[in-house]
Structure formats: structure tokens, C-alpha cells
Structure 1
Amino acid sequence: MFQNALAEAGAAVSDHLDDVLAPFEGELGAAMRYACGGGKRLRAFLVLESARLHGVARSPALDAAAAIEAVHAYSLVHDDMPCMDDDDLRRGLPTVHVKWDEAMAVLTGDALQAVAFELVTDADLPDMARLCLARGLARAGGGHGMVLGQVLDIAAETAATPLTLDQIKRLQALKTGALFEWSATAGAVMAGADPAPLARYAEAFGLAFQIADDILDVEGDEAQTGKRVGKDAAAGKATFVSLMGLDGARAEAQRLVDLACDALAPYGEAAGNLREAARFVISRQS
């Protein structure tokens, strides 16, 4: 059931993104569509499930889901650049700066971020809901969230001492978790409901997701992950695995999944797909 729901959400959001990005011209449009191709659409799935739990209409839910995928794509395009992680492979394909060039990668990311805010501000929602969605996305994706996390991640590469476990948790809660939290709480925000249970779910979900990523960097198959593996160890980077060991990291990921599932108690069986999503993130191979 979960895999079908994830596939259906992914297809719907991909179709919506195709429509949204179709008017963009030339190489910029091509690069934007390329950057948004593929992926699990997990953040979009969280938006749609959160919206379903709160009875939000399909049209604004799809706008919000496409918006978070646009922000996620922009973040990957910039993250892959030589000035940051310097990756040449993403989702099994050359990264945008490799296929085009660095200038196009910067501009592609900038344009996708702008598209995301067009989507949430144009959504068919009450004014306050649109304002809250946009403000939340700005905080989650900007200097209070993902961007700050990336700054901390870059600084850690040249720090005199490796990060502690608490520092890694904070970094990843910003870099990865902030967008997951926006996604999981979007339905409540759109409906004017209390987002607190979904925020607790997302906090645990995001850290579990990152631990799984750290494990995949050690044990993953590049053909399955679609990106380079072994980079963290080669760079001497402190990760959940380097500090906790593989067994310890797996145990912590499972503990976080249990916390995420417990946070969904107020929604009962209706949140079954969100529970399965949490279990999925620590069993995935990409």
C-alpha cells in the first residue's frame, strides 16, 4: 500500500512539475526540468499525506508538494557544485554543473527556488495559509534552516576537531530535517490545524533519514544509490556511523523511527502511510 501511494504521489507531482516548468525557455528551462527529474519524491509524499489527513483539496496540496520538490532540487544542484560537495553524479546522471556549467547550475538553482515560492503563493488557499506556507518555506530553506546547515557542514570539513554527536544532530536537523518538517506539517498549516504532532514526527524522521544516508555512504552500491559513495570516510568527515559505528547507527535509526510512529498516535490508522514512510527511510537502498 505504501509503495503504491509513494509511486502515485511521485507521478502526480512529476506531472505537475512538468506543467509548471514547461514555459521556461532554452537551456535554463532544460536544466530546470533536468534537475527536477527522478528521485523518490519523498518530501512531496509527506506534503500530500499531511494534506490528506487534514482534508486539504488536491490542487493546493499538489502546489505545495511541487514547491518542496523544486526547493529540494535547487538544493541538490547547488550542493553538488565544486565549491561545496563537488559531486559529478546525482540520481545516476551527470550533475547539472557537469552537464552544463557552473554558471548554469547557480542560475538553475536560483530559478527553481523562485518557482517554489510562486507555487505556494499562487495556491488556492486562504491568504493566511499561503502566508504561513511561504514564511515557513523561507525559514526552512534559508539561513534559519537548510542553508545554515550547509554552512555548518562546510565549516566542519576544515574544523580543528571533528563534530560531536550533538553537533551533527543539530547540523542535520537544519540541513536535512528542516525541509522534512515543512513537508510533514504543510497539510496542517494549509488547514489551519495544530502542526505539533507532525513536527515531532518529522524531527525523528529527518534524523533517521540522515543516519540511513550515512550508512549508505559506507555500505551502499553506487549503481543503486545513483551517487558516489565512500566520500565521507575519504574526507575524514564525522558522521553518525563514524561516531556510533554501524550497529549503533542502525539501532539509533530504529529508535527514531519508533519515535516518529509514536508521534502519529493522534491520527490513528489514517496515518498508516506516514508510519510506513518512516520505516522505509531506514530500509531504502538509494
Structure 2
Amino acid sequence: MAVASLPLAQAMAENAALVERQIGLMLPKSDLPEARLFDAMRHACLNGGKRLRPFLVMEGAKLFGVDPGCALRVAAAIEFMHCYSLVHDDLPAMDNSDLRRGQPTVHKLYDDATAILAGDALLTLSFEVLAEPDTHADPQVRVALVQALAKAAGGRGMVGGQMLDIIAETTVFELHTVSRLQRMKTGELIAFSAEAGAILGKASAPQRQALRAYAHDLGLAFQIADDLLDAEGDTETAGKPVGQDADLGKATFVSIQGVERARAQARMLVEQAERHLAIFEGRAEMLRAVARFVIDRRH
């Protein structure tokens, strides 16, 4: 994270430590025969990572004076959802990846069936956490969180985007379809993460919309940066295999636009994302810094 500003790098590191601890407390342990499942879940979630989505939850919650304990629970829930998606994405039937965050993927360390079940368990755990009274005293807020995450993660969000990603292996997509794919596969969970604090804080519709718009631009910039890393990076730096999209013949922002145009688009999206935060009158500086960090990251 050397390219992040010092205040941002410190804030993200501190937040990641808090989230890591919360995740560790929430993930089940067992000495029963099914303990292998819980071990796989913990391996999927406790191997580091930027914890970008939880950071967005926590920073968004600060804008509305949300209880940090409540926000931390939602931050853990979104990380469970994100980690489930990574476990399934790494499977031989999907990307067939051996490495994630510099560690063996769950199916490599355990087996395919255990990885599928671990992903399923993390997916359902995310909703269990959101539905618990400790997450928010108001049941309507809890329902709103569950509904928003379900939309972001389902067929019209992350899972639908993954389907498009599979289709992309045998179909040549134009730029607008690639943009839609990435908005669904990556952007919708990022949008939920940015908006979750506003849901917890019962914020106004314009404030919620501003955070969603910010996050959609951020999510697209994030994916372009990912494509650039895939095209220009190396496995050791990225912590995962690179060049897989090119090997599969998938259209990406880089393959369609070229490196320089893709990088220019990412910077334009970041500037646009920052403008959406004007409604908060200087109280969202960390969110601005995250946008700038996303396109300069090295992993």
C-alpha cells in the first residue's frame, strides 16, 4: 500500500485490523466432525487483503454518526460476502486459481467440495449478521440492509456479472457490455459498501444517492486498475495469477482501449467520483483519498 497517502494508509491499516478482529470473533470454531468447513471459512477470510469494502462501510457510517460497533458488524458482513465470491471465483469451474492474497486458494488447500460449502456458509453468514438485532435496533433498517445486499449480490448484481464473465470466454464483448459486466460483478458490492453507512444512519435520499454514484464510479475505476495490473503486473506483486483474462481471450478495458486510454478513463472516473462527494462539504476526505488510491495501487 506504499502508493497511498500516509493518513489513508494508516487509516486503512487500522480499519483492517479492527475488521480482522471482528471477523475472527464472528467466524465459528468447532471440534465437531464438520470443523474442516469452519477452518476453510477462516482461511478464506483471515488471510489479509485491503479490506476496501469494510473501509467504505466504516467511513460512510462516520458521515452520519453511526455507532462504530454497528458499522463494524456490517463491515464484517460485506467481507464475508466478498470472500465467498472469491472462494467460488477461484474454483476450477470458474477461474481455476491457485493463489489468493499470496496464499493457496481454499480449493487447493482443502478440496473443491469444501470450498463450495465454505463459500455457501460465508454467503449465508453475511445475511445472518445483518439480520441480528446487534447490527441495528430498528428492524426496518436491518431489512433495508438485507434487501440492499441481496440485490447487490444476486442475479442482477455480482452473480449476474459472474455469468457475463463466463460468457465473455466465448463471446466478444464491446466496451459497453464490459462496463455493464464489471458494474454488476464488482461495482454493486462496492456501491452497497459505500451506501451501508447511510442506511444505518437513516440518511436522506440525496445523500444515499451521492454515495452510490461515488461508489459506481469508484468500482469501475477499481476494475480498470485491476485490468491494468493483470496486463502489466506480476504474480508476486499482485498476490494472485495475472494474465488470465488475456489467456482466455476475454475483452477487458485494456484490451479494447489500450493501456493509456484505459488509465485515462480510470482517472476521469476518479475525478467524477470525488465530485459526487461535494454534498458532504469536506467531511468525506477519506473517501476522496480512497478514490485516488484505487487507480494508483500496485496490488
TM-score (norm 1): 0.98
Distance 1:129 1:62 in 2: 15
Check if 1:35 corresponds to 2:57. no
Shift of 1:10: 0.6
Distance 1:79 1:221 in 2: 20
Shift of 1:140: 0.5
Which residue is equivalent to 2:216? 203
Q: Comparing 144-153 with 120-129, which one deviates more in the overlay?
A: 120-129
* Deviation readout 1:122-167 (Å, 9 max, x if unpaired): 11331111000001111111112000000011011112xx100000
Distance 2:137 2:72 in 1: 12
Shift of 1:118: 1.2
Letter in 2 for 1:58: P
Which residue is equivalent to 1:147? 159
* Residues paired across the two proteins, number: 284
Letter in 1 for 2:279: P
TM-score (norm 2): 0.93
Match of 2:22 among 16, 28, 34: 16
Which residue is equivalent to 2:83? 73
Letter in 1 for 2:151: R
Shift of 1:22: 4.0
Q: Which runs of 4+ in 1 moved over 4 A?
A: none
Check if 1:181 corresponds to 2:181. no
Shift of 1:24: 4.8
Letter in 1 for 2:36: E
Match of 1:124 among 136, 160, 163: 136
Check if 1:64 corresponds to 2:74. yes
Shift of 1:105: 0.4
Percent identity (aligned): 51
Which residue is equivalent to 1:135? 147
Letter in 1 for 2:136: D
Decide whether the 8 Å contact of 2:136 with 2:200 is kept in 1: no
Distance 1:234 1:3 in 2: 33
Letter in 2 for 1:28: L
1:1-286 equivalences under 5 Å are 1-24=7-30, 26-37=35-46, 38-122=48-132, 123-159=135-171, 162-193=172-203, 194=205, 195-286=208-299
Distance 2:10 2:71 in 1: 18
Distance 2:12 2:57 in 1: 11
Q: Comparing 166-175 with 24-33, which one deviates more in the overlay?
A: 24-33
**Cα RMSD for the two superposed structures:** 0.9
Distance 1:15 1:67 in 2: 13
* Deviation readout 1:253-272 (Å, 9 max, x if unpaired): 00000000000001122100
